[in-house]
Structure 1
């Protein structure tokens, strides 16, 4: 079953050929998707991965010594993975829907959004805001985004549409105002017009800030692009729990690639990519430090565009094309904290912790708090009251715990802190990490009835079961430039003009080199979309 798949297990040594139809650089989930599609079409495929396991940021791990808990270490929920990819590759994965969308503590009360009980949700809005105005606006707002999602989601696995064609899709089905609000005007203005309450505005705003360091009012609209990707997944925008953890997803993709005939080589650090008229020369260093090489008809780059640029430069080649241009240096902006608890903590307002933690727990994320935190981080300081989102995997799926641990009240939680850009951690990585963690835990404790430290489990050495990763850590751990979880700022899921030559959003200036990772157009998140698109571009007549 998928819950037992372990992509972090070392892959056995492979017998290599001197030439392949395609070499995939990077064995993350997108690289594995590209490899599976290409190999199923009869192409010879080699995957080169620098780590001793595949999966990239979509892996499960046991981070706490002597504790049998496999946490989704980096990425943790699934929304953008199309059902089409799951079906076409026959992936044995299970995604579970969460009953509660979110809970946001506010003073001695809070806002609970219950997807199965409209009356309870309405009553919660009324207690917070004093009227029904915002809950009715909430319904209209998300009905609008749902219709946009229903229309746009199917286009993500087809050749790129033009901006004009996507505009027609949206305007014909939802209206001119929806197009302007989501695609042309800053998200902050839309939220202020739509909702009266600052907390309600903030709950909606967070989808525009996950992994994106942005002012909600900035004219670049990168916050809008981030928001769009968070609400269109599979035509519903639901964020689901992968049974068995994120490693079950990448493990299933690895098995699909191997079953189709792809060769996977781990502990292979690619050092240069040299495209020529007759093929691409790829050089790498193996686990023993030996330099090796192979020729490919095409390279499918599952790595970040910035890393691909470095590999091309090492061979004396120019950088890849593709948005944004000119490309700023990627910068991630999140603090990731993994914890194992002996039990869920009590909240100040007395709400059932199971309801509070079953969906997304928003901590200090009113619109004003989000904007204040952004301003402080942009000025070069760790926010005084860091906003964060918390998710509990084990309330939906206890298979990631060993039998003895699963029989207890233990729970895993993931905290995703916003507005923690890499720049804050460059000069003093260790010290800044500790300061950011302390501020973040204090922010969390401000909404709890007891300190989170009091319910942390301990590992075999007696240390608290708590792991924290900054953008700088992610850069070193999994090769994300600047710790950017999307490899670089997200782009609109369409071609910018009718004369754009990109058909799949993966093309580069080197026709034998294709983007196959999150940095492609329509990349970002755990989706497999750019990996599939790269394979489609490879296989196109």
Structure 2
């Protein structure tokens, strides 16, 4: 039987980060991935038959990946800033308007706020709030690659009033106190529910944690487009892991993990049948509930994803009722029906088991920032990709009939987009080689089936505060389990979630600093 210092279960981006750090340190490292390719959810794929467009199919943008990891691993990446932060179409008193937030913000952003709200007060509140959040992010971001600190230690470095506002009280209280306009409130609140099913006043504060993770990446919170798509990120990581000497095996479906605190054993099924290896450490780049199953433990409750993902290819960008230039409006995050009251109404509907009548969602047009994901012919003819992230679509809504619920959820979400267009959306959707519209929709169940995320939960479970919440974990890395030589290195680790590499880095450091 072969022996490795470390066996990593799962070849997603975190597993590749961990493998590279460990192999660079001279440890023999094996990565086992059940898919035919590495990358997990961070992949670029040709979704539509006969159409040369490589979409970031499951995960879209990069914010939390620290520059230090990119430098440490020698990654060749082009993470490109979007020209616009966000655009929100609004219909009020018979007028179609658009709230445009530039990157960086300038006079046009202030004017856009004033046209919508009638004064400068709301924009002044916006700049004050995000200025304060930026200071908090600058304090927290460097600690993500360090052993866990206490909440008290971090609180002492920032404005304690802001800490209490964002960490101790439901996020809805902050939004309602600071802002008065329903649309502005919604744009702020959206970052607290992307991938998290919660109301703005949820006492668990999972919405606060989600907001924080969306705003602390590299101390700036900017979400950038990886040139070449998300697959370019994980392709670079796989290349780095191989250069460092790690062994990557695909089409390897792990069936069991055994650990005793000193040694471990991993068994998998591959093209040549069943195989097992012994090792010193096992790193789990899978959801904690999946790891429990691999250890033969009963799983009573699995995570529940809460999003609808729709991928489209357009023959051209549609005109907007507001008259704003679509190449500007779609260049950032395009918010659809995400006013504060709309978010809360949709949440209450979904929590009661009903598809939201007006589902909030947001759209990203990556090809405006990175046309390389399209063939030269598609670029020349004006084609563009759109990826839609539908909010408040928990898995429970699709449990009885996934196909029918998917179709209706997709119809309602695209109808929401079309309501702000000056022309029918159908006339802008490209067709594939078989003459079918280039539309793909994935519910939480579809995501679970495609890439093995339990419940389709993109974070592998509820996000945790990125610091120690009890004295026993201060100084640890947030990757530890109940067995010394078994570590969580994926999104389910503390400080996991999103395409960040944090779980992989911190699991590697757990070993290398012992």
TM-score by length of 1: 0.93
Equivalence for 1:470: 443
Structure 1 position 87 matched with structure 2 position 75: no
Structure 2 gaps, min length 5:
none
| Distance apart, 1:531 and its partner CA | 0.3
User: Measured at CA, do residues 495 and 153 of structure 1 come closer, stay the same or move farther in structure 2, by a change above 3 Å?
Assistant: same
Trace 1:330-479 onto structure 2 (pairs within 5 A). 330-479=303-452
Displacement of 1:453 after TM fit? 1.5
Cα deviation 1:385-429 (Å, max 9, x = unaligned)? 110000100101111111211222110111000000011111111
Paired residue secondary structure (1:196): coil
Range with greater deviation from structure 2 (361-370 or 119-128)? 119-128
8 A Cα contact 2:149 2:474, kept in partner: no
Q: What are the superposed Cα offsets for residues 476-526 of structure 1, whole Å, 9 maximum, x if unpaired?
A: 111111100000000000011223266100000011100000000000000
* Contact 2:83–2:102 (8 Å) recurs in 1: yes
> For residues 62-121 of structure 1, what are the alpha-carbon distances to aligned partners after superposition, in whole Å with 9 as ceiling and x for unaligned?
010100000000001000000000000000001111121111001111211112452111
The equivalent residue for 1:237 is: 221
Quote the Cα distance in structure 1 between the aligned partners of 2:192 and 2:74. 32
SS at the partner of 2:295?
A: helix
Equivalent-residue separation in structure 2 for 1:147 and 1:465 (angstroms): 43
Sort the Cα spacing of 1:66 and 1:379 in 2 relative to 1 into closer, same or farther, 3 A: same
The aligned counterpart of 1:142 is 130
Q: Compute the displacement of 1:60 (Å).
A: 0.2
2:275 paired residue among 292, 295, 304: 292
**Once the 2 structures are TM-superposed, how far is the Cα of residue 318 of structure 1 from its aligned partner?**
8.4
Contact 1:48 1:268 in 2 (8 A): yes
Alpha carbons 2:261, 2:484 under 8 Å: kept: no
Which of 470, 484, 491 in structure 2 is aligned with 1:511? 484
Q: Given that residues 360 and 391 in structure 2 are in contact (C-alpha distance below 8 angstroms), is that contact kept between their aligned partners in structure 1?
A: yes
Match of 1:18 in 2: 2
2:36 alignment counterpart: 52
Question: Which stretch has the larger CA shift, 399-408 or 527-536?
Answer: 399-408
C-alpha separation in 1, matches of 2:82 and 2:350: 32
Work out the CA distance in 2 between the residues paired with 1:500 and 1:231: 24
Shift of 1:169: 2.0
* Contact 1:312 1:318 (C-alpha < 8 Å) held by counterparts: no
What CA distance in whole angstroms lies between the structure 1 residues aligned with 2:376 and 2:418? Answer: 30
Q: CA deviation at 1:372?
A: 0.3
Contact 1:164/1:497 (8 A) holds in 2: no
Q: When the two structures are superposed, what TM-score results if normalisation uses the length of structure 2?
A: 0.97
Give the secondary-structure state (helix, strand or coil) at the position aligned to 2:134.
Answer: helix
Equivalent residues, number: 510
Q: What SS does the corresponding residue of 1:332 show, helix, strand or coil?
A: coil
Secondary structure in 2 aligned to 1:303?
A: coil
Q: Which moved more, 1:99-108 or 1:53-62?
A: 99-108
Distance 2:387 2:147 in 1: 35
- 1:256 correspondence with 2:244: no
Aligned to 1:3: none
State the alpha-carbon separation in 2 of the partners of residues 121 and 406 from structure 1: 29
For 1:143-162, what per-residue CA distance to the aligned partner results, in whole angstroms no more than 9, with x for missing partners?
01111111111110111111
CA offset digits 1:437-458 (Å, max 9, x no partner): 1111111111111122110011
3-state SS, counterpart of residue 169 of structure 1? coil
Aligned to 1:247: 231
- Note the residue ranges of structure 1 that are not aligned, 5 or more in a row: 1-16, 320-326
Equivalent-residue separation in structure 2 for 1:73 and 1:450 (angstroms): 26
- Secondary structure in 2 aligned to 1:36? helix
Q: Deviation digits for residues 284-340 of structure 1, max 9, x if unmatched?
A: 11135x221110100011011110011112xxx688xxxxxxx95311100000111
Q: d(CA) in 2 for partners of 1:117 and 1:484?
A: 33
SS state of the match for residue 146, structure 1? helix
Aligned counterparts, 1:208-223, within 5 A: 208-223=192-207
1:30, 1:529 within 8 Å by CA — same for their partners in 2?
yes
The alignment status of 1:227 with 2:211, answered yes or no, reads yes
Measure, in 2, the Cα distance between the counterparts of 1:433 and 1:502. 45
**1:491 pairs with 2:467:** no
Residue number in structure 1 paired with 2:49 = 65
Equivalent-residue separation in structure 2 for 1:195 and 1:276 (angstroms): 54
Of residues 414-423 and 446-455 in structure 1, the stretch that sits farther from structure 2 once superposed is: 446-455
- 5 Å-filtered alignment, 1:103-142, equals 103-107=87-91, 108-142=96-130
1:308 aligns with 2:291: yes
State the Cα distance separating 1:127 from its structure 2 match. Answer: 0.8
CA–CA distance in structure 2, aligned partners of residues 287 and 429 of structure 1:
32
Q: Find 1:163's aligned residue among 151, 156, 166.
A: 151
1:115 and 1:21 map into 2 onto residues whose CA distance is 46
Cα distance in 1 for partners of 2:352, 2:370 equals 40
SS of the aligned residue for 1:208 comes to coil
CA separation of 1:492 and 1:117: change in aligned 2, threshold 3 A:
closer
Q: CA RMSD in A?
A: 1.3
Asked if residue 154 in structure 1 is aligned to residue 138 in structure 2, the reply is no
